[in-house]
């Protein structure tokens, strides 16, 4: 019984870390897109 619980906790922990990793990647990707968007907007203002 204890083995099952500890395995479940480990799996939940891994899933959480995986989700946090994906969220971190998403935020990096989003900030990268925001930078590109800002550059496009500045370029449009200059023309």
Chain Cα centroid distance, residue 6? 27
Which residues does 17 contact at the CB level (< 8 Å), separation at least 6?
none
Check residue 23 and give its pLDDT.
Answer: 92
Task: State residue 27's pLDDT score.
Answer: 92
Tens digit of pLDDT per residue, the chain (47 long)? 566 666 777 788 889 889 999 999 999 999 989 988 888 888 777 66
Task: Give the pLDDT of residue 28.
Answer: 92
DSSP one-letter code for 38: H
Q: What is the pLDDT of residue 36?
A: 87
Spatial separation of the C-alpha atoms in residues 9 and 11, rounded to whole Å: 5
Apex 42 CA angle, 39 and 43, nearest 5: 85
C-alpha 41/C-alpha 8 separation (Å) is 48
| pTM (predicted TM-score) | 0.52
């Amino acid at each position: 019984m204890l083995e099952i619980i500890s395995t479940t906790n480990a799996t939940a922990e891994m899933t959480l870390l995986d989700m946090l990793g994906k969220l971190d990647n998403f935020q990096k990707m989003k900030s990268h897109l925001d930078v590109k968007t800002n550059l496009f907007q500045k370029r449009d203002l200059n023309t």
